[in-house]
Amino acid sequence: MDIEFIAKSEYVRKAFELCWKIQKDLCNNLLPDLLVAQDVADMTLKDIHEIYKKELQLKNVQAHSQIICDEVMTLMSTGEKMQYFFMLPEPEQGFTANLPDAGEYIKAFAWLADPEILNALLVIHKSKIDYAVPLEHFAKALDRDTEKTEELIKTLVKHGFLHEEIVNINDIAQTFYRFSSKAWFVALLVLVKECIEPMNYFALDGGLQIFRRGSK
């Protein structure tokens, strides 16, 4: 394995350990009365994995932690195969103050749920191509006719997943498309996975209604 890659991987591991420390510190300072807060204070991620393996007989540990209190909401996956840390400080106006209306979410989720759209987005995010390609190349990757791909490309350009580039070849202007991966799309897939496959939780929960302030 490349030495530089090992160094970067170790840096990422330490960064995630720091996220776990932040999670524990938030719990100890914001929810000090919770008994679980005292138990978790000295736990390492390895400790959590061992507990779940021994007590729950789990081969693939997918332990999650969440904090819900006046000041902040967090969600953290401390699993062995997938790890992430999400932190959302509560705005003065409440969590819902800057969120679109429900109708906008319905339209957004309906667009993402379209099989052709979702398949195209997965192709874009799995691609290793870092250069612009012609429409025919994208159509082939999607296993679609070129004509049927044109309308799909328009909506992907509109939403920023593709960028048009006009290239002059032999005095003829030709349109190429460059893929644009979005971190929010990958994060959405990861979070929705929790709905598809419910996880094991140890929750550090203040028992508050998340949308209690600023609700529309």
Q: Profile the chain (216 residues) by mean pLDDT over runs of 10 residues.
A: 63 88 83 61 72 61 75 82 88 83 94 94 88 87 85 92 87 88 93 79 55 52
**Is 43 part of any domain?**
yes
pLDDT confidence of residue 86? 94
Rounded Cα gap, residues 85 and 72, in angstroms: 13
Rounded Cα gap, residues 207 and 66, in angstroms: 11
Does 145 lie in the same domain as 84?
A: no
Does 201 lie in the same domain as 159?
A: no
The dihedral built from the CA positions of residue 156, 149, 137 and 117, taken in this order, carries a sign that is: positive
pLDDT confidence of residue 66? 82
Q: Please state, in angstroms and as integers, the Cα–Cα distance from residue 21 to each residue in 11, 15, 24, 118, 131, following that order.
A: 15, 10, 5, 36, 40
pLDDT confidence of residue 216? 45
**Is 95 part of any domain?**
no
- 60: Cα within 13 Å, side-chain hemisphere: 5
Does 54 lie in the same domain as 108?
A: no
**CATH number where 138 lies:** 1.10.10.10
Containing domain of residue 50, as a range? 3-89+185-205
Rounded Cα gap, residues 73 and 90, in angstroms: 7
Q: What is the DSSP letter of 30?
A: H
Helices (H) and strands (E) in the chain, counts: 8, 8
3-state class (DSSP) for residue 184: helix
What domain count does the chain have? 2
**Is 64 part of any domain?**
yes
Neighbour tally for 154: CB within 10 Å:
12
**Is 94 part of any domain?**
no
**Is 212 part of any domain?**
no
> Which of 212, 214, 201, 208 is CA-nearest to residue 36?
201
pLDDT confidence of residue 7? 66
Tokens describing residue 140: 């082939």
Rounded Cα gap, residues 208 and 64, in angstroms: 19
Does 72 lie in the same domain as 114?
A: no
Q: What is the H or E stretch that residue 35 is in? A: helix 35-40
